[in-house]
Structure 1
Amino acid sequence: MSSLKQLFKQNILVKNFCRMWPYIKPYWFRACLGVALTVPVGALDGAVAMFLKPFMDKVMVEKQPHFSAMIPFLIVGFTLLQGILIYSSNYLNTWVATKITIGVKRSLFSKLLSMDTAYFDKHDSGTILFRYSNDADLASAGLVDNLKQFLSKLFSSISLICVLLYNSWQLALIAVVVLGLAFFPTQIVRKKMVEIMTRTVGNAANIMTIYNETFSGNKTIRSFTLEDLLKQKFNNVTDFMFTLTMKMVKGTNWLSPVMHVIMSIGVALVIGCGSYLIISGKITSGNFVAFIAALMMLYTPLKSVGNNYISIQNSFLAIDRIFQILDLQPEIKNHPSAKELRELRKEIRFENVRFNYLPDKEVLHGINFTIPIGQTVALVGNSGGGKTTISNLIPRFYDLSGGAITIDGTNIKEFEQNSLRQKIAMVFQDNFLFSGTVRENILLGNPSASEETMWTALKNACLDEFVKSLPQQLDTQIGERGILLSGGQKQRLAIARAFVKDAPLVILDEATSALDNKSEHIVQKALENLMKNRTVIVIAHRLSTIQNADKIVVINDGNIAEEGTHEELIKRGGAYHALYSMQFRTQETK
């Protein structure tokens, strides 16, 4: 009993069906009905073969005319019924498979949204697209289709074997033994197929990544004349895909010829033994013809098992990859007793904060400083020194390697992530805008914002006059990633989004560094409006924009070099004075 149970658990079809059951369950009735229709579809194969015996015996041998008129109509009638059942089964199975695919994709997308920022750092876009989208199509459709085919062929095989046994148990024994031998070759290639398919998936993801990079980086490609380099890169990847495809063909396509040989041996043995049984009078000619017809119907699908086996294994591997993703757990989670962050009252404090993106490569080395609520604190320093990392740690895009960040004395890990992030508005150097309208992008800050609130936000962001000049104003499409807007307009739309959010803490990460002087002046005015009556963390490259900050913290190579006001740091003559003097001299030479 235990060995039977173990065999059941190890059955790949059963295992994958059980894992997919939560997605099948809401549609189980239609799924069962669609699958149930495959039973008579398969069973009718045996009925058609069975009619050949009376046709041969009654018509061909005994010359009975009423059978000659009746049997063709019966065969056509059964075939017509089989066709109706096949259509109904296909319709229901496609409906169920599509619903299952949608359910799986929704689960995968929810999982994608729950993953940490570090997860996206480690995986390229091609891998994300392939594993979160293509695998769902391959797994869901494949599972239902394979189950349908499995049951159809199972009941077809049972009915045909019954026909074989009815007509001659001796010949049936030969046919079944040969049938059993035919399944051994499939086990030989399975391990090799898994290895090749895994590499194929990775290579297919690389191809999608190249497409995405070509789309997003088209201006860079043209400006650096990278067309030939990208072509060569794409050619290399597709050549490798060709190599993998041929390895798959080499490793699996011998199955079909082998099946042909095995089946032909079975047919040859049946014909040889059948001839003897007919001559000895143990079976009639009708028995033999019906047997041969049933045998050919039983053996024919097995000849192409090599091709079908690849499709089946692809579906099963896709299911395995899906559940590898669904089993993932984000590293950054809410504490079991996490509480809501209602307001910021006193201060945000960094206490001996350490952080590393990669093991044994620390980026921040024991950072200690305080951000009083209501004040503006600027972070400056050398490129790659850790300024942006500090800003990313406050909303818990990453968790610390050591130390703590506290808000009013409470570790930010004790707050619910959403409530923490709702209190923070961020404006980046390169703000992401979604395809859609101006209205839709502003409402991302607060979906319930009124029309008046949106126009007030646009006015504070110095963008209201531009939006009013647009043909459809708030309902104007801005294109994917805001491609129809200039750099300054994108920044001001992002600032308007931050205004609508109305968060007490604002983080500005190099928000004007990518703009020309004219755009920077307008955006800086919008940022000053945003900073009023809020706690602000400014990461700035141009020191002229942060001279009025309440505190300036100089961060070099993951350490705090010094902190103070602009005047204090200039008088001190340290790292900040050196940075300021360098920029001042650069501006004078211009």
Structure 2
Amino acid sequence: MKNILTRPIGELVTGHPLIVNYKKMWPFIKPYWFRAMLGILLALPVGALDSVIALFMKSFTDDVLVAKDALMATYIPVLIVGFVLVQSTLTYLVKYLNTWVGSKITLSVRKKLFKKLLTMHSGYFDTTDSGYVLMRYNNDADTACNGLIKNLRMIVTRVFSSITLIGVLLYNSWQLTFIAVGAFAVAGGLIFVVRRKLEELVRNTIVVGSVAMRAYNETFNGNRTVAAYNLQEDQERRFEHLMDRVFDLNMGMVKRTGWLSPVMHFIVSLGLALVFWQSSSMIVKGTITSGNFTSFVAALLMLYTPVKSMGDNYVDIKQAFLSIDRIFEIFSLKTEIEDKKDARTLDGVRKEIRFEKVWFAYKPDTYVLKDLNLTVPVGSTVALVGNSGGGKSTVVSLLPRFYDVTKGRVLIDGENVKDFTLKSLRDHIAVVFQDNFLFSGTLRDNILIGRPGATEEDLKEAIKNAHLQDFIASLKKGLDTEIGERGITLSGGQRQRVAIARAFVRNADIVILDEATSALDNKSEAVVQKALENLMKNRTVFVIAHRLSTVVNADKIVVLNEGRVVEEGKHEDLLKIENGAYAALYNAQFKKKK
């Protein structure tokens, strides 16, 4: 879809971008179209009533100030107050309706954006920073939707106000109208001059804004690292540099556009001066009355307000349109991991899991796995070991389809994992990571993530097997204890055992343990290892571990080096291989004293 920033200026002036963007947003507006339309219809008289007040100024001047008509002196002020009261009431209703509709649309867009974010594949998050996500998935929705409704209300009100006010001007004097409208047209035309100067500034402002968001997020999440390495001054310098960039962009915006409103004001003032000069001779000649002049000036001043603010509003409109385009760019993104049209439901794992001639690259032609072949019978435990960067975590990431293979196949009971629905595939897999993510909420909430429909008995069994019962019993609120964002109030071992309980509750056929104990001290590791042994019973297990002491009892140990399987077998058999890769790893960790 054509980007708003590349469209000819004529389209913007004629309103075409507005129409295009409203068409884009129509699916979100449609559920609330009645209130939206009612808000628009009520905005019509709000604008039109400006002209009524200006029109009354003629009668007030001619009949009250000049003719001294006592009845009109009472009648006209009362009517003006009545019209202003009606206008104020309608203004409140329009604002309320538009705020309600705008908020509803914003919520709908945010919900859809969040749903879109949830469907994106792991590779997307590998290359997208948090500041970008916050700007694109949250702030853009607010800018687009509120800007959309606000601009629509503004345009409708001001268009009808301008039309009726120009009617009042023409009614009082077509000659003076020609002068005034000519000045307004010249002032409005200045927007063409600044249009292209704004485009790059708006883009850069959004980019820098996302970087600022990322800085706040990194400081929050990395606060301990900042403190531990005394990075306060370094982070402060980086942020100051960023804020200087924001300042430069803001000043650039003012430098390139700040003159717009003052110059427009000056041009319109020249028009007003010409109107006063021309009207003086017209009043003397009797071409117009004093009332005509007063009414004309009142209408002209009312018309001046929207023209004067047009330059500032143009920036807001540009940002709203840009945000709409950015939102729909996100909606058009395709996730690389999705269900096939004829995907089937996986109802269990009965025979084996097989990696068949698997190649995988995160980046084109840079393969992390190379012609990998591996067979894992149901109910067995396979351990993946090797040097860092050998592809161990990548192997287990292909099974739940966090990524898809570049070449080859991953099979469950002879069926390609791509032939199963993602939900049913992942329902049969439980993963315990090295650094398990815990959500804000209670212990109960975080354990039940494994299977929200689990019974209380299932929950108790999972807690027992994960060796959490003593810890939970020591808490005043037990399972209903709030653990803070990312489980900050828990120790590393406690977080791991919560994750293990989560995996128990899931009751999956396949368990993946990705460095599940490598970040723990010896005491914590011992407790967690007992919990893991409970979890591994009667399941097909993939274990990734640097500490070889945790995998010596595996049914099969697979040694990976630079993406290839270099050895596989049982612990005792691998140690017997002369100059073997596994033996070298083992001896490096457990050197015996001679």
TM-score (structure 2 length as normaliser): 0.96
1:431/1:490 contact within 8 Å kept: yes
Counterpart Cα distance in 1 of 2:423 and 2:13: 44
In the TM superposition, residue 53 of structure 1 has moved relative to its aligned partner by 0.7
Counterpart Cα distance in 2 of 1:491 and 1:118: 25
Q: How has the CA–CA distance of structure 1 residues 588 and 383 changed in structure 2, closer, same or farther, with 3 Å as cutoff?
A: farther
* Match in the other structure for 2:587: 581
Matched to 2:44, the amino acid is V
Secondary structure (helix, strand or coil) at the match of 2:576 reads helix
* Match in the other structure for 1:185: 190
2:188/2:307 contact within 8 Å kept: no
* Match in the other structure for 2:4: none
Secondary structure (helix, strand or coil) at the match of 2:134 reads helix
In the TM superposition, residue 550 of structure 1 has moved relative to its aligned partner by 0.8
1:55/1:71 contact within 8 Å kept: yes
Secondary structure (helix, strand or coil) at the match of 2:358 reads strand
Alignment match of 2:309 (pick from 304, 308, 323): 304
* Match in the other structure for 1:148: 153
2:29/2:105 contact within 8 Å kept: yes
2:11/2:17 contact within 8 Å kept: no
Counterpart Cα distance in 1 of 2:14 and 2:593: 77
Counterpart Cα distance in 1 of 2:365 and 2:200: 33
Counterpart Cα distance in 2 of 1:136 and 1:462: 45
Q: In the TM superposition, what are the counterparts of 1:64-213 in structure 2 within 5 Å? A: 64-213=69-218
In the TM superposition, residue 113 of structure 1 has moved relative to its aligned partner by 0.4
Matched to 2:232, the amino acid is E
2:143/2:319 contact within 8 Å kept: yes
* Match in the other structure for 1:286: 291
In the TM superposition, residue 491 of structure 1 has moved relative to its aligned partner by 0.4
Q: In the TM superposition, what are the counterparts of 1:277-356 in structure 2 within 5 Å? A: 277-356=282-361
RMSD of aligned residue pairs (Cα, Å): 1.7
1:164/1:291 contact within 8 Å kept: yes
* Match in the other structure for 2:484: 479
Counterpart Cα distance in 2 of 1:324 and 1:195: 18
Counterpart Cα distance in 1 of 2:13 and 2:423: 44
Counterpart Cα distance in 2 of 1:398 and 1:254: 53
* Match in the other structure for 1:28: 33
Deviation readout 1:285-331 (Å, 9 max, x if unpaired): 21111111111110122222222222222222111111111111111
Counterpart Cα distance in 2 of 1:123 and 1:169: 60
In the TM superposition, residue 272 of structure 1 has moved relative to its aligned partner by 2.7
Deviation readout 1:72-127 (Å, 9 max, x if unpaired): 12112211111111111111111111111111110110011011111111111111
* Match in the other structure for 2:410: 405
Counterpart Cα distance in 1 of 2:89 and 2:19: 28
* Match in the other structure for 2:454: 449
Q: How has the CA–CA distance of structure 1 residues 316 and 588 changed in structure 2, closer, same or farther, with 3 Å as cutoff?
A: farther
In the TM superposition, residue 7 of structure 1 has moved relative to its aligned partner by 8.7
* Match in the other structure for 2:552: 547
Counterpart Cα distance in 2 of 1:14 and 1:296: 30
Matched to 2:473, the amino acid is K
Extract unaligned runs of 5+ from structure 1: none
In the TM superposition, residue 8 of structure 1 has moved relative to its aligned partner by 10
In the TM superposition, residue 174 of structure 1 has moved relative to its aligned partner by 2.5
Alignment match of 1:380 (pick from 378, 385, 405): 385
Establish whether residue 419 from structure 1 lines up as the match of residue 403 from structure 2: no
In the TM superposition, residue 9 of structure 1 has moved relative to its aligned partner by 9.6
In the TM superposition, residue 472 of structure 1 has moved relative to its aligned partner by 1.2
Extract unaligned runs of 5+ from structure 2: 1-7
Counterpart Cα distance in 2 of 1:363 and 1:190: 48
Deviation readout 1:231-251 (Å, 9 max, x if unpaired): 011111111111111111111
In the TM superposition, residue 6 of structure 1 has moved relative to its aligned partner by 8.3
Alignment match of 1:499 (pick from 496, 504, 510): 504
Counterpart Cα distance in 2 of 1:425 and 1:511: 12
Greater CA drift, 296-305 or 507-516: 296-305
1:9/1:15 contact within 8 Å kept: no
Taking every aligned residue pair, what percent have the same amino acid on both sides?
57
Establish whether residue 58 from structure 1 lines up as the match of residue 63 from structure 2: yes
Counterpart Cα distance in 1 of 2:69 and 2:548: 107
Secondary structure (helix, strand or coil) at the match of 2:371 reads strand
Counterpart Cα distance in 2 of 1:176 and 1:127: 45
Greater CA drift, 269-278 or 437-446: 269-278
